[in-house]
């Protein structure tokens, strides 16, 4: 085992399982496994005959996964640890376990159930998002719509685990995602049923403040459009005993306390209610309030939901009367009258109130509470009963009244929720009790555990079936998997002569008792190994359930199974005057016949009616069978609720309590079934992405990724039995994924070490070079070396000059001698003398040199001699030591010789001894002589040494003078250097002064040149302005001419295409020419000479009857892809405005109003869901709105208008109201336009921003378990990338630009789209734990940079669109930043300003390392961040509102278009318009 993976789980009494590290390899035959625990070493015993080693622990990288089946080692401790990590450290309450959703109750309100989260899960595949109750609901809804099959969601768990809340959230999800839009508000009614059922069926227990004391199966009906049309509820096993008895610290049903809290209200005055602690039925538990619960407010909610369901006031009044009567009945005092008799005081106030509320006779009620009728064969006897039995009769009556009231309310709710149409499909939500085992278990626990046995059997078969289908779908050989079948336990309970059958049989006997029934169980079931008799009790029996052994106390089984109620009491209620007038109470008791009662004291004859002996157990078994038939006909989805601790503390995890529930709810059975074969399953894409690092270059270059995965796996794992290749997945046996993770980690570690080595080397070299540049030593060395080089240079220069001087002198003298010496005898004599002097000098110098050499030679010889003397002394001492030791050896030998000689030949030995002595004496003599010689040499050496010391003293005196000479020399040299330096500084100052003078002259010249250039540029600028003005005038004329020519060109094209209508067109042109001639005449009279053409006024005339044609042709039939529209996108707006101007010119109010209404109506009907139409008409409405403002005559809109435009303003009408209507219409079109773009863009956002790897190799997939992602398939389909998002944005921008949309409007639309991208991406990160990693943060920041580049490319930086991505950008930064120290926490709190505390904590808790090199965020660090953020104000929502819209504005933008120059192309078929 590698040391990184040698961790195991060992059993522990406190924590169930503890982690330990193996210290020594285990070998076959060892009886002890050495482990290292946190508190020291531990020896784990191992049985050599049955080697069962402790289970291995998964690598840390696999811990905390969304699906428990993604773990490599599947066993109980792995499941327990994974749930703990997710719940305690990551604050995640939901986890998948194959097909099961495990929900751990947090005992705290979490912000994960809002409508935004519902919409985020809507339409998503189950593996794409984090585990959630909404994901299960969406899966059920989707399968119902896709497969046209009914679904069921089974929510189970023990009391306090959160079953009711989970079921409520599933129903709320269906109500939100399937809103029908009808006025009946069926969805609200379905949700409104929950408060009522919780009020009458939930109560406080020691384990749960809102415990459901009944099972409930709610069928939510859907029509063919899969919208809710109704619902129906079925209930199971209401705990009636709670009405008359509550244990300590428990309460009765909530409705009683709600009524008592409102006793002072007028509508409850007639009920004579008291405080809850004054009624026996509500005060037995001693605790009448619940912390944090306001019963009065809950009552208001109950009344509101009664009304919402259509239950009228009379019905509500009847319900409250019956409930109040039950409370007063509990306070009726029954006294002991002696002789097994009992009585009720006639003046009992509660008896009077009970009789008044229900309208019954007090005498009859008192009589039959204290008496019973016994029917014999020949007569009927009335016999009094003791107080105990009278109290039991009173309580039985109260229980039956409440039970039938409960059923009646459920029936009325079902009637209110009844579907008006035909049901197409339904989704059932089963909220039922989980497996229960208490210190004292009775009939209720037996029925509950019986129901769970049936549900567990159905669950096992379903899991087995899914497993088999998975193997067959992937073409994997199917081998029979052994799974636990609990049919024997079910047979023990429900089969003939089983527990229930024997119980019903015993109930038939009038004298039957619990003890007699128990003895029958012992005798009939003793051979069954699942049934046991307790050793220490004779009042109980034990059943081995699938979850655990449960001991049941037999006391009360018969009474609860009989559910006895006397007929006489029912007759009294049936004769009530009040009951006969009330529908509710008729349902309660008129339908309550003798057949439905249990009458135990009848003669022992076979009853004619089989209903007569229907017991509670039999009813429950029948209803349970019906429920199982319903579930088997649907596709089940499982939610297992877990209670993490008994103290109801938030996010506290008690491993012992959790493991009990995991064993009981089937989670571990699912794990066991999965672990038997190939538990780990990866798609080929996941495997390729995760383990591509283990591939060679040749393997990675293959295009077939599936074959590549096969090749790599066959190379890495030699045993082919450890994995199987399916069509789309690879199946692994337990532990193989952990082995692959080890190989991957080793490869990454090697690569990291290599990278770190080179990076550290580069970094250190860089630091060294930076430090080296600033070192003082390096600076000193540099200057010193420069100084020395300069000094040597000066010395060499001086020597060179001297040599040159002497050489030149010598050469000159030599030349002189050649020329003048022969002619001058005096010179020759002089030369001879000089030659002799040179010879003398030569020999003298040679003698002095030899003398100095001899002196140095003697000095060296003396030194060598002293060294050799020292060596000789050492050698002599060594020889002396050797000689002494040798003499000692001889003496020892001589002492031992006499003894040895005595044994041998004495004479021979003596001779040999004498010879040896002689030889030794000679040797000693020789050594003494050598010693004497050496002593002499030592004396000579000492003499020579003394001479040398004297010479050394003399040399030392001479040497002392040398430093003084050197100091003098250095001082002189320093003085010289100082003088040189000062000279050089003076010269440099002079040179700088000259240089500055030269620069000043140059700058003067440059200044003069620049002034001349500035003058030239000013002249050129004036010239360019004149040219620009001329050019703009020419462009305006050219534009006008171009529009005119374009229109004429369109006319010519139409004429060529429609030759058959040539005559008609010519006639139309003649008419238009005549009209235009008239218009020209009018215009010539009204306008003066001007540069603008005088022919037209920019108005179009039409007849009133042609108005529909105008709207039809210019609005309804116009397509934005035509040639004319491409050239002038705003042409429809200009044409419509020119028509408006003409109506204003004519002062025709009716025509103007009709035209404006027609325009608004036409535009409303013209756009639906077409992007091009919406963009086109948004642009035209904006242009029309601006035209109405520009020509309104208001000063603020005329500042940039031309004189001609100012002259053509509207004259007669104020169209400000119509402008407001047009503005509202434009806003509506804008929002429709944004909606269509969002609908197109939304599918690309999550794949492009989160799932696609824009940085290749940065991210790597991890196993997802049973719930695979929707995109995790082998086929390489066309997936969306960041390029897809950018391309879509470019298409939108191109469309808006093509239709001439104003830039301000484009910027607002782009900002809205960027907000959508950021919000959807952010929301997915919040709901996807697999996206919260450092590498994913890098991907997101890269994608944001791409979007920012696109904004720069399109010149849209001014839109502030990038600011809408700040939450996403800060999220990416938060994923990448270090998260360990206090400084990190402070930095996070300071920089994440766009995120609220809830979002920051969610990201930190969801942070998931991709590799072992990353660290999880500790709980202590999260608490630090929370403490720093506790004072931050703002939103507490987890999600961003993707439906948020920024306020759109339409800024005024005047048009430069001259309306009088516009030509109406004949292709628009507007020949009925006449230009004025």
Per-residue pLDDT, averaged over 193-222, amounts to: 88
Shortest CA distance to 360 belongs to which of 385, 406, 325?
A: 325
Task: Report how far residue 171's alpha carbon sits from residue 786's, in angstroms, rounded to the nearest whole number.
Answer: 90
At residue 1074, does pLDDT exceed 60? no
Sign of the dihedral through C-alpha 1418, 1423, 1426, 1427: negative
State residue 560's pLDDT score: 85
Q: What are the backbone angles phi and psi of residue 350, rounded to the nearest 5°? A: -70, -30
Residues of the chain with pLDDT > 90, as a percent, come to 22
Per-residue pLDDT, averaged over 149-157, amounts to: 91
Active-site residue list: 159-160, 164, 208, 211-212, 434, 436
Q: What are the backbone angles phi and psi of residue 1092, rounded to the nearest 5°? A: -75, 145
Identify the weakest region by mean pLDDT among 335-349, 859-873, 1255-1269.
1255-1269
At residue 680, does pLDDT exceed 60? yes
At residue 311, does pLDDT exceed 70? yes
State residue 611's pLDDT score: 38
State residue 909's pLDDT score: 58
8 A C-beta contact, residue 1247 and residue 1322: no
Would you place residue 1092 in the very low, low, confident or very high pLDDT band (cuts 50, 70, 90)?
very low
Would you place residue 1275 in the very low, low, confident or very high pLDDT band (cuts 50, 70, 90)?
very low
Would you place residue 1205 in the very low, low, confident or very high pLDDT band (cuts 50, 70, 90)?
confident
Task: Report how far residue 753's alpha carbon sits from residue 759's, in angstroms, rounded to the nearest whole number.
Answer: 10
State residue 1065's pLDDT score: 52
State residue 956's pLDDT score: 60
8 A C-beta contact, residue 682 and residue 117: no
| SS3 annotation, 1223-1265 | HHHHHHHHHHHHHHHHHHHHHHHHHHHHHCCCCCCCCCCCCCC
State residue 1451's pLDDT score: 83
Per-residue pLDDT, averaged over 1372-1376, amounts to: 92
State residue 608's pLDDT score: 36
At residue 1387, does pLDDT exceed 80? yes
Task: Report how far residue 291's alpha carbon sits from residue 311's, in angstroms, rounded to the nearest whole number.
Answer: 30
User: pLDDT digit string (tens) for 607-624?
Assistant: 334 334 578 888 888 988
Task: Report how far residue 1082's alpha carbon sits from residue 704's, in angstroms, rounded to the nearest whole number.
Answer: 80
Give the list of residues 6+ apart from residue 520 with CB closer than 8 angstroms, or none.
Answer: 502, 505, 506
DSSP state of 703: S
Give the list of residues 6+ apart from residue 97 with CB closer than 8 angstroms, or none.
Answer: 67, 68, 69, 79, 640, 667, 670, 671
State residue 982's pLDDT score: 64
Task: Report how far residue 459's alpha carbon sits from residue 75's, in angstroms, rounded to the nearest whole number.
Answer: 19
Shortest CA distance to 450 belongs to which of 547, 534, 525?
A: 547
Counting Cα atoms < 13 Å in the Cβ hemisphere of 630 gives: 20
Per-residue pLDDT, averaged over 241-246, amounts to: 89
Is 380 labelled as part of a ligand binding site? Answer: no
State residue 1132's pLDDT score: 84
User: pLDDT digit string (tens) for 266-306?
Assistant: 888 889 999 999 999 999 988 889 988 999 999 999 999 99
Identify the weakest region by mean pLDDT among 820-824, 1077-1081, 1363-1367.
1077-1081
Which residue(s) pair with 43 in the sheet? 34
User: pLDDT digit string (tens) for 627-664?
Assistant: 899 989 999 999 999 999 988 899 999 999 898 888 87
- Ranges assigned E (strand) in 960-1026: none
- DSSP string over 1387-1420: HHHHH-TTS-HHHHHHHHHH---SSTTS-PPPHH
- DSSP string over 881-904: HHHHHHHHHHHHHHHHHHHHHHHS
User: pLDDT digit string (tens) for 1362-1373?
Assistant: 999 999 999 999
Per-residue pLDDT, averaged over 594-604, amounts to: 33
State residue 862's pLDDT score: 84
Is 903 labelled as part of a ligand binding site? Answer: no
8 A C-beta contact, residue 1370 and residue 1393: yes
- DSSP string over 1279-1339: ---HHHHHHHHHHHHHHHHHTT--HHHHHHHHHHHHHHHHHHHHHHHHT-GGG-SHHHHHH
Shortest CA distance to 97 belongs to which of 123, 119, 117, 70?
A: 70
State residue 1137's pLDDT score: 83
8 A C-beta contact, residue 1237 and residue 1309: yes
Shortest CA distance to 748 belongs to which of 816, 691, 664?
A: 691
State the Cα angle at 78 between 73 and 82, rounded to 5°.
Answer: 125
At residue 605, does pLDDT exceed 50? no
State residue 938's pLDDT score: 73
8 A C-beta contact, residue 553 and residue 440: yes
Q: What three-state secondary structure class fits 234?
A: strand
CA dihedral 886, 887, 888, 894 (to 10 degrees): 110
Which range of 680-689, 758-767, 1271-1280 scores highest in mean pLDDT? It is 758-767
More confident residue, 1342 or 721: 1342
Is 164 labelled as part of a ligand binding site? Answer: yes
At residue 1193, does pLDDT exceed 80? no
At residue 432, does pLDDT exceed 70? yes
8 A C-beta contact, residue 460 and residue 483: yes
More confident residue, 475 or 834: 475
Task: Report how far residue 143's alpha carbon sits from residue 427's, in angstroms, rounded to the nearest whole number.
Answer: 10
Task: Report how far residue 1416's alpha carbon sits from residue 1413's, in angstroms, rounded to the nearest whole number.
Answer: 10
State residue 1094's pLDDT score: 46
Is 1034 labelled as part of a ligand binding site? Answer: no
Is 425 labelled as part of a ligand binding site? Answer: no
Task: Report how far residue 235's alpha carbon sits from residue 684's, in angstroms, rounded to the nearest whole number.
Answer: 47
8 A C-beta contact, residue 1191 and residue 1210: yes
Burial bucket for residue 569 (CB in 10 Å: 0-12, 13-18, 19+): buried
At residue 953, does pLDDT exceed 80? no
At residue 1086, does pLDDT exceed 50? no
Please provide the average confidence, as pLDDT, over all residues in the chain. 80
- Ranges assigned E (strand) in 1156-1216: none
Give the list of residues 6+ apart from residue 1222 with CB closer than 8 angstroms, or none.
Answer: 1160, 1181, 1184, 1185, 1188
Sign of the dihedral through C-alpha 979, 981, 987, 992: negative
Task: Report how far residue 275's alpha carbon sits from residue 263's, in angstroms, rounded to the nearest whole number.
Answer: 8
Sort residue 497 into left (φ over 0), alpha (ψ -120 to 50) or beta.
left
State residue 1042's pLDDT score: 64
Would you place residue 945 in the very low, low, confident or very high pLDDT band (cuts 50, 70, 90)?
low
Give the list of residues 6+ apart from residue 125 with CB closer than 8 angstroms, or none.
Answer: 1269, 1270
Is 157 labelled as part of a ligand binding site? Answer: yes
More confident residue, 367 or 942: 367
CA dihedral 1004, 1009, 1015, 1016 (to 10 degrees): 180
State residue 1080's pLDDT score: 45
Task: Report how far residue 138's alpha carbon sits from residue 173's, in angstroms, rounded to the nearest whole number.
Answer: 8
- Ranges assigned E (strand) in 413-563: 425-433, 531-532, 540-544, 549-553
More confident residue, 821 or 1197: 1197
Task: Report how far residue 122's alpha carbon sits from residue 132's, in angstroms, rounded to the nearest whole number.
Answer: 12
User: pLDDT digit string (tens) for 1428-1464?
Assistant: 988 888 778 888 998 899 998 888 888 877 777 777 7
Shortest CA distance to 1438 belongs to which of 90, 104, 116, 108?
A: 116
- DSSP string over 542-582: EEE-SS-EEEEE-TTHHHHHHT---HHHHHHHHT-TTGGG-
8 A C-beta contact, residue 321 and residue 271: yes
């Amino acid at each position: 085992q590698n040391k990184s993976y040698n961790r195991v789980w060992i059993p522990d009494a406190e924590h169930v399982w503890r982690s330990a590290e193996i210290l020594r390899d285990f070998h076959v035959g060892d009886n002890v496994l050495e482990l290292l625990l946190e508190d020291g070493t531990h020896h784990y015993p191992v049985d050599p005959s049955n080697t069962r080693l402790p289970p291995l622990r998964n690598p840390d990288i696999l811990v905390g996964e969304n699906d428990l089946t993604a773990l490599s080692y599947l066993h109980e401790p792995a499941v327990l640890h994974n749930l703990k990590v997710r719940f305690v450290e990551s604050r995640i309450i939901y986890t998948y376990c194959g097909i099961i959703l495990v929900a751990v109750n947090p005992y705290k309100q979490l912000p994960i159930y809002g409508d935004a989260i519902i919409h985020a899960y809507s339409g998503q595949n189950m593996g794409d998002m984090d585990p959630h109750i909404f994901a299960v609901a969406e899966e059920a809804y989707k399968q119902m719509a896709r497969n046209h099959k009914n679904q069921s969601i089974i929510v189970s768990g023990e009391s306090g685990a959160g079953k009711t809340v989970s079921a409520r959230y599933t129903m709320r999800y269906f109500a939100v995602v399937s809103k029908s839009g009808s006025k009946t508000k069926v969805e609200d009614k379905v949700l409104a049923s929950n408060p009522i059922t919780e009020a009458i069926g939930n109560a406080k227990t020691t384990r749960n403040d809102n415990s459901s004391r009944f099972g409930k199966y709610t069928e939510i009906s859907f029509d063919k459009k899969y919208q809710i049309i109704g619902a129906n509820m079925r209930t199971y096993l209401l705990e009636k005993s709670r009405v008359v008895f509550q244990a300590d610290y428990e309460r009765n049903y909530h409705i009683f306390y709600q009524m008592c809290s409102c006793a002072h209200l007028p509508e409850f005055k007639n009920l004579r209610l008291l405080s809850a602690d004054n009624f026996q039925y509500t005060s037995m538990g001693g605790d009448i309030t619940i912390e944090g619960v306001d019963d009065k407010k809950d009552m208001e909610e109950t009344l509101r939901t009664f009304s919402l369901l259509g239950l009228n006031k009379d019905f509500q009044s009847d319900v409250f009367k019956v409930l109040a009567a039950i409370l007063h009945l509990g306070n009726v005092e029954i006294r002991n009258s002696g002789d097994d008799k009992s009585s009720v005081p006639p003046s009992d106030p509660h008896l009077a109130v009970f009789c008044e509320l229900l309208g019954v006779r007090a005498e009859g009620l008192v009589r039959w509470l204290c008496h019973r009728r016994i029917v014999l064969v020949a007569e009927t006897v009335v016999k009094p009963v003791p107080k105990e039995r009278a109290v039991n009769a009173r309580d039985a009556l109260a229980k039956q009244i409440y039970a039938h009231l409960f059923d009646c309310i459920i029936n009325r709710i079902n009637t209110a929720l009844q579907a008006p149409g035909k049901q197409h499909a339904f989704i059932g939500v089963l909220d039922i009790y989980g497996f229960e085992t208490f210190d004292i278990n009775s009939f209720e626990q037996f029925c509950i555990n019986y129901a769970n046995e049936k549900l567990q059997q159905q669950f096992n078969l379903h899991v087995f079936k899914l497993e088999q289908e998975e193997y067959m779908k992937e073409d994997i050989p199917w081998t029979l998997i052994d799974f636990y079948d609990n049919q024997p336990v079910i047979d023990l309970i429900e089969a003939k002569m089983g527990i229930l059958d024997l119980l019903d049989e015993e109930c038939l006997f009038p004298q039957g008792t619990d003890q007699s029934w128990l003895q029958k169980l012992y005798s009939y079931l003793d051979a069954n190994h699942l049934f046991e008799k307790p050793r220490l009790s004779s009042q109980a029996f034990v059943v081995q359930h699938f979850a655990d052994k449960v001991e049941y106390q037999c006391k009360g089984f018969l009474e609860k199974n009989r559910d006895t109620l006397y007929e006489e009491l029912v007759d009294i209620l049936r004769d009530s005057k009040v009951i006969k007038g009330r529908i509710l109470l008729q349902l309660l008791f008129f339908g309550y016949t003798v057949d439905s009662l249990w009458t135990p004291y009848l003669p022992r004859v076979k009853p004619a009616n089989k209903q007569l002996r229907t017991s509670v157990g039999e009813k429950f078994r029948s209803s349970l069978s019906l429920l199982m038939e319903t579930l088997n006909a649907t596709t089940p989805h499982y939610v297992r609720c877990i209670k993490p601790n008994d103290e109801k503390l938030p996010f506290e995890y008690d491993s012992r309590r959790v493991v009990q529930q995991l064993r009981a709810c089937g989670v571990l059975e699912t794990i066991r079934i999965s672990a038997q074969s190939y538990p780990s399953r990866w798609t080929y894409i996941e495997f390729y992405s995760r383990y591509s690092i283990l591939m060679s270059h040749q393997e990675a270059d293959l295009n077939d990724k599936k074959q590549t995965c096969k090749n790599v796996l066959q190379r890495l794992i030699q045993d082919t039995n450890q994995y199987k290749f399916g069509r789309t997945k690879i199946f692994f046996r337990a532990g193989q994924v952990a082995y692959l993770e080890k190989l991957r980690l080793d490869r990454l570690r090697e690569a990291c070490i290599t990278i770190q080595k080179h990076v550290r080397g580069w970094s250190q070299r860089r630091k060294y070079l930076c430090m080296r540049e600033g070192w003082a030593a390096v600076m000193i060395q540099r200057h010193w070396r420069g100084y020395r080089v300069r000094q040597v240079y000066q010395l060499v220069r001086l020597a060179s000059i001297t040599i040159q001087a002497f050489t030149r002198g010598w050469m000159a003298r030599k030349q002189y001698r050649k020329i003048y010496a022969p002619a001058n005898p005096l010179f020759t004599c002089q030369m001879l003398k000089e030659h002799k002097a040179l010879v003398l000098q030569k020999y003298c110098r040679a003698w002095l040199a030899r003398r100095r050499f001899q002196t140095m030679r003697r000095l060296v010889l003396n030194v060598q001699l002293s060294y050799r003397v020292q060596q000789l002394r050492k050698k002599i001492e060594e020889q002396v030591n050797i000689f002494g030791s040798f003499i000692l050896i001889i003496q020892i030998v001589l002492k031992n010789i006499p003894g040895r000689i005595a044994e041998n030949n004495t004479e021979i030995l003596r001779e040999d001894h004498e010879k040896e002595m002689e030889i030794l004496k000679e040797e000693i003599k020789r050594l003494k002589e050598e010693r004497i010689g050496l002593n002499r040499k030592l004396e000579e050496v000492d003499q020579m040494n003394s001479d040398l010391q004297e010479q050394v003293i003399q040399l030392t005196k001479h040497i002392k003078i040398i430093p003084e000479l050197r100091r003098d020399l250095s001082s002189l040299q320093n003085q010289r250097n100082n003088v040189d330096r000062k000279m050089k500084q003076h010269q440099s100052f002079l040179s700088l002064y000259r240089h500055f003078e030269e620069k000043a002259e140059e700058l003067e010249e440059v200044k003069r040149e620049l002034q001349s250039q500035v003058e030239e540029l000013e002249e050129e600028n004036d010239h360019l302005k004149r040219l620009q003005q001329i050019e703009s005038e020419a462009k305006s004329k050219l534009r006008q001419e171009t529009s005119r020519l374009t229109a004429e060109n369109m006319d010519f094209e139409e004429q060529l295409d429609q030759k058959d209508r040539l005559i008609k067109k010519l006639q139309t042109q003649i008419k238009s020419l005549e009209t235009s001639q008239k218009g020209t005449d009018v215009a010539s009279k009204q306008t003066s000479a001007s540069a603008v053409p005088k022919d037209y006024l920019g108005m179009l005339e039409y007849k009133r009857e042609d108005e529909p044609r105008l709207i039809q042709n210019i609005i309804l039939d116009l397509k934005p892809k035509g040639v004319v529209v491409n050239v002038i996108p705003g042409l429809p707006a200009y044409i419509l405005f020119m028509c408006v101007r003409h109506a204003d010119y004519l002062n025709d109010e009716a025509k103007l109003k009709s035209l404006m209404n027609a325009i608004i109506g036409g535009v409303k009907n013209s756009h639906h869901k077409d992007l091009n139409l919406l963009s086109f008409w948004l642009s035209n409405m904006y242009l029309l709105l601006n035209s109405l403002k520009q020509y309104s005559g208001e000063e603020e809109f005329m500042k940039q208008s031309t004189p001609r435009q100012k002259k053509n303003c509207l004259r007669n009408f104020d169209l400000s109201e119509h402008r407001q209507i047009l503005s509202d219409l434009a806003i509506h079109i804008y929002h429709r336009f944004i909606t269509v773009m969002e609908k197109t863009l939304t599918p690309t956002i999550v794949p492009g921003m989160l799932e696609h790897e824009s940085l290749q190799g940065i991210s790597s997939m991890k196993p997802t378990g049973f719930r695979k992602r929707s995109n995790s398939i082998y086929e390489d389909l066309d997936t969306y990338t960041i390029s897809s998002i950018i391309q879509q944005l470019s298409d939108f921008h191109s469309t808006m630009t093509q239709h001439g949309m104003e830039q301000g409007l484009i910027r607002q639309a782009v900002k809205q789209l960027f907000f959508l991208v950021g919000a959807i991406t952010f929301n997915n990160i919040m709901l996807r734990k697999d996206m919260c990693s450092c590498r994913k943060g890098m991907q997101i920041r890269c994608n944001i940079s791409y979007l920012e580049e696109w904004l720069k490319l399109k010149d849209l930086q001014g839109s502030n669109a990038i600011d809408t991505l700040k939450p996403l950008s800060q999220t990416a930064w938060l994923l990448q930043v270090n998260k360990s120290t206090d400084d990190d926490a402070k930095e996070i709190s300071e920089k994440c300003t766009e995120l609220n505390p809830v979002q920051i904590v969610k990201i930190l808790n969801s942070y998931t390392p991709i590799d072992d090199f990353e660290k999880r965020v500790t709980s202590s660090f999260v608490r630090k961040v929370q403490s720093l953020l506790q004072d931050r104000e703002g939103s507490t929502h987890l999600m961003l509102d993707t439906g948020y819209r920024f306020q759109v504005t339409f800024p005024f933008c005047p048009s430069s278009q001259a309306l009088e120059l516009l030509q109406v192309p004949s292709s628009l078929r507007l020949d009925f318009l006449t230009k004025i």
